[in-house]
Structure 1
Amino acid sequence: MKLTQQVWKKAAAAFAAAALLLAPVLPGPAAHAAGPEAGTRIVLDDRTLEGAEPVVVAGTTMVPIRVVSEQLGYAVNWNKSAEKVTIGSSPSPLVLTLGSVSADSGSGPVALQQAPFVRANTTYVPLRFVGSQMGLGVKWQQATGTVYLQTPAENPRDSAEPAMPSNPAPAPAAPSVPAPAPASNAAETSASIDAISFSDSRLTIAADSPVVPQGTLLRNPDRIVVDLPGSAFGPALLRNGNLNLGQIAALPVEGSSLVKQVRYSLFSQSPSTVRVVLDLNRSAGYNLYTQGNLVIVDLNDGGTAPPAGANGKKIVVIDPGHGDQDPGGIGITGVKEKNMVLPLSLKVAALLKQEPDIDLIMTRSDDTFVTRSGRAKMANDAGADLFLSIHGNKASSSSAVGTETYYADAARSKSLADVIQKHVQAATGFRDRGSKQANFIVIRQTTMPAALVEIGFLSNKEEETLMMREDFQQKVAEAIVAGIKEYLKLD
């Protein structure tokens, strides 16, 4: 899709602004400011943030970004000698300088009402800037001294198609995954196919609206063909290039004696139809059905497989964080978070497949990208009983250590987070940072008990090294499964 220069600039500014809001606590010189207003507080999405008092500087209300950073999980690079914060990466990073009323971005300078400053180890930014530039709903209630912040349904960092730089470099062509041209008749396309994953003899296709799949079992060679009329590929599956009519992408399958690989393509443009093919080693029975906006193909060597959750089984969704062009945090020696959490999550999946009372769904089973809202929606559509997102942590300081687990809705998910934290921290032996409330999209938008576990800090060399070891990952995987079973009362 071609965008005008003006659109690129607006997108870059939106990303820059959102990232600025979510930077962590930064070192720097103290600034003169009024103390916290008596009785003032910040409420984020109807929840009071502890230790987050606004201050007033020259008539401008300033709010700390530390607590918001902890709630929404952004990271930045800090150049202490230059007192600069770099948010994002080349070619269009946002650079914020303490004491400056202008932030630099790829789309030009971004003006601030007051310069950011650090006081008592807390970084402050202007409230008006938060509201006008960062995509948050903002309301100041003077009578009660309350700042109300409301996150959008999906902030720029979490969007399916992230904001682009003002002068984007051309995306490299992907030899194996070129991507679909839009359907010739837009009215014939109603569903966006956003994710395709395979695990536990189950193919899961996530759409943004209902589709009516058509399945066919073919011989010589053995394969199952699933056509999705009225659909086209969404941005997440087009990330590595174009899937034009007739061009094919492949999803590698490991550890299956039945399935060789999964292929997908834009089969037709009139009507627009996505085709997904499971190449089999031998003929097999299967069950094709939908759950919400999910299309599921359950394989069974002996006949038709029952739907997920049948026979009283619990549906567990495991979400390996990040993927593909979203590397997550970068460790102290260059380890990418996505490359740590995927093998760990696959070990969890292998153990869960052995549990007779659990049906497993993976949001991704290889290095692909699924939007954060898409991951939550996949779990919601499946009617999951439990959702667990697996991550590695990162901090600006290499001294930060420990295991922690997050939940969004205390009534629904705190007990799950507590159990996961107990088992995983015992397995890692890292500092116990406890279970905490946070606003991450994947646990905020899910409707079942949901938690996000940060195994350890990739920014700490010792923890990073351990988290990449096979034996350590296996130990943590066993702990995660033990926590899931305890919570579901399956022991």
Structure 2
Amino acid sequence: MNRNQRNVWITIAFAMIMSFFILFPSTTQAASTQIMLDNQPVEGAGDVMITNQTTMVPIRVISEKLGYKVKWKQSDQLITISNTAATIKLTVGQSKADATSGDVVLEQAPFMKSNTTYVPLRFVGTQMGLKVKWDNTSKTVFLEKVSAGPDTNNGSIPDPNNTTIEGISYSDNRLMISSSGQVKPVDSVLTNPNRIVIDFPSTAFGKGFLQGTELKQGEIGTIPVTGSADVKQIRYSVFSSQPAQVRIVIDLNQSKTYKLYQQNDLTFVDLNTSATTKPVGSNGKKVVIIDPGHGDTDSGGIGATGVLEKNVVLNVGNKVAALLKKEPKIDLIMTRTDDTFIPLDSRVKIAEDANADVFLSIHGNAAPNKDASGTETFYADTKRSKLLSDIIQKHVLAATGFKDRNSKQANYLVIRKTTMPAALLEIGFLTNKTEEAIMVQDEFQNKVAEAIVAGLKEYLNIK
């Protein structure tokens, strides 16, 4: 064999070796890991695999459980996943997928093992509209379907004749109450102690807001308020069940004037009273919705040492709110300011009813792979939201110093169904012990909050 022939055979052998690694990348099996879909074990799903620090799951079983049809074209190594609303095409060994919303870049190319095709877990969640949660204690991947229909309140409305309260938050010295439909509140002022009372006739609490629990007549829920010179706390209760009536009370530190007004299905009690006080978004102000993810019984991701995502993102969200209150050209609305839960569709509805200019949902990441790390930001619609996502990613990445997981497209409900520019930020991985320890630090959260505000101001062209 001459030198040229030997070089040809070496080249062929090298190409064969490389193709083997593309089809069968370096993988490890995640010990004793199971997959749960809507709290039911996914039978026949096989094992979760960790590949190049990316969590991979078997796509066929999960897709078929969700009602998708899966087709395999051997000649092209092509997997087509489809239902009546969407089609996704993936090719073994290629890191780009063709989705209905456009091309999607995967963290890790799909591969086959034992006649099973594995794809990144995050891809499954983002493209199939699933909530993905990793429980580090039980080593379990929880996948939760999010209905695209009007009722995602974890239960039916108690009485079809009643409007339901779906969200209550207090930010920028303004109380916001979100309802499922039009309702005319009755407000009054009481003294000794000073308080503002708002009654909602023919109204009950949505089961999504109560997270499947029941608030009986005489029982009181509270929303703590900190750092306010005017307000001690917010209380809410079932004032009457027959007929249905909800009562919300603002406990004041001192007598205070206010203005009550409604915008679509939002009711505002504004304590920023002056001769020029006008509804949210007036005087050319930009309306910004800050949405701390999860809340109440929905803890979100669980960190390496048990830190709950819902608490971290609420802290960051409230720090963002404190900064935005100082911006005279911005009107801020928080979807939640305490440990309550707001159904996903209700978060969207708040933004739509407020005619928001920008929607930003704040999250912390979690994955079965404890080494997964980095900051990433998601958008759903390229024309509407990519620029916002890119700018938020740029600023927050500089603040975290974590790995750059980029600004990328996804199918999360809150950024898909909103009609204004919308992004979903994943600050870092709580399941990464190093990042978790950093993410709970007050100084770090302040830096992230400042970065978020800087990104929002850049996008909105506010100097």
Shorter-chain TM-score: which interval? 0.7 to 0.9
Q: Which residue of 1 aligns with 2:80?
A: 41
Q: Residue type of the partner of 1:258?
A: D
CA contact (8 A) 1:24 1:70 kept: no
Cα gap change, 1:205/1:77 in structure 2, threshold over 3 Å: closer, same or farther? closer
3-state SS, counterpart of residue 303 of structure 2: coil
Per-residue Cα deviation, 1:206-251 (whole angstroms, up to 9, x for no partner): 1111111111223333211111111101113433843222322221
Q: Residue type of the partner of 1:397?
A: N
Distance 1:339 1:201 in 2: 22
Q: Which residue of 2 aligns with 1:68?
A: 124
Within 5 Å, which residues of 2 pair with 1:185-224? 186=159, 189-224=161-196
Q: Residue type of the partner of 1:244?
A: K
Within 5 Å, which residues of 2 pair with 1:95-114? none
Tell me whether 1:226 sits opposite 2:211 in the alignment. Answer: no
Q: Which residue of 2 aligns with 1:160?
A: 153
3-state SS, counterpart of residue 311 of structure 1: coil
Q: Which residue of 1 aligns with 2:68?
A: none
Q: Residue type of the partner of 2:148?
A: A
Distance 1:284 1:262 in 2: 15
Q: Which residue of 1 aligns with 2:445?
A: 473
Q: Which has the larger radius of gyration?
A: 2
**2:40 aligned to 16, 26, 32, which one?**
16
Per-residue Cα deviation, 1:265-309 (whole angstroms, up to 9, x for no partner): 111234311111111112222121222211111112546732111
Range with bigger deviation, 268-277 or 378-387 = 268-277
CA contact (8 A) 2:163 2:182 kept: yes
Q: Residue type of the partner of 2:455?
A: G
3-state SS, counterpart of residue 310 of structure 1: coil
Distance 2:149 2:48 in 1: 20
Within 5 Å, which residues of 2 pair with 1:366-385? 366-385=338-357
Cα gap change, 1:420/1:57 in structure 2, threshold over 3 Å: closer, same or farther? closer
Q: CA deviation at 1:49?
A: 4.9
Q: CA deviation at 1:333?
A: 1.2
Cα gap change, 1:258/1:75 in structure 2, threshold over 3 Å: closer, same or farther? closer
Cα gap change, 1:422/1:14 in structure 2, threshold over 3 Å: closer, same or farther? closer
**Superposed CA RMSD:** 3.7
Q: Which residue of 2 aligns with 1:440?
A: 412
Distance 1:20 1:419 in 2: 42
Q: Give the TM-score of the pair, scaled to structure 2.
A: 0.75
Q: Residue type of the partner of 2:434?
A: E
Cα gap change, 1:203/1:61 in structure 2, threshold over 3 Å: closer, same or farther? same
Distance 2:276 2:43 in 1: 48
Distance 2:89 2:295 in 1: 30
3-state SS, counterpart of residue 220 of structure 1: coil
Q: Which residue of 1 aligns with 2:311?
A: 339
**1:352 aligned to 314, 324, 329, which one?**
324
Structure 2 unaligned blocks of 5 or more: 1-35, 59-70, 92-96, 99-109
3-state SS, counterpart of residue 283 of structure 2: helix
Cα gap change, 1:269/1:13 in structure 2, threshold over 3 Å: closer, same or farther? same
Distance 1:74 1:427 in 2: 25
Within 5 Å, which residues of 2 pair with 1:445-456? 445-456=417-428
Within 5 Å, which residues of 2 pair with 1:231-250? 231-239=203-211, 241-250=213-222
3-state SS, counterpart of residue 204 of structure 1: strand
Q: CA deviation at 1:62?
A: 7.2
Distance 2:172 2:43 in 1: 37
Distance 1:424 1:347 in 2: 14
3-state SS, counterpart of residue 424 of structure 1: helix
Distance 2:263 2:187 in 1: 16
Cα gap change, 1:29/1:62 in structure 2, threshold over 3 Å: closer, same or farther? closer
Distance 1:466 1:194 in 2: 33
**2:244 aligned to 259, 267, 272, which one?**
272
3-state SS, counterpart of residue 285 of structure 1: coil
Cα gap change, 1:276/1:297 in structure 2, threshold over 3 Å: closer, same or farther? same
Per-residue Cα deviation, 1:37-59 (whole angstroms, up to 9, x for no partner): 5365345754645545999999x
3-state SS, counterpart of residue 270 of structure 2: strand
Structure 1 unaligned blocks of 5 or more: 1-11, 89-93, 95-133, 136-150, 164-181
CA contact (8 A) 1:259 1:279 kept: yes
Within 5 Å, which residues of 2 pair with 1:29-178? 36=74, 38=76, 41-42=80-81, 45-46=85-86, 48-51=88-91, 66=121, 67-71=123-127, 72-76=130-134, 86-88=140-142, 152-153=147-148, 159-161=152-154
Q: Give the TM-score of the pair, scaled to structure 1.
A: 0.71
CA contact (8 A) 1:284 1:303 kept: no
Distance 1:378 1:436 in 2: 25
**1:287 aligned to 249, 252, 259, which one?**
259
3-state SS, counterpart of residue 365 of structure 1: coil
Total equivalences in the alignment: 390
CA contact (8 A) 2:392 2:455 kept: yes
3-state SS, counterpart of residue 40 of structure 2: helix
Cα gap change, 1:283/1:85 in structure 2, threshold over 3 Å: closer, same or farther? closer
CA contact (8 A) 1:35 1:56 kept: no
Q: CA deviation at 1:397?
A: 1.1
CA contact (8 A) 2:134 2:366 kept: no
Q: Which residue of 1 aligns with 2:435?
A: 463
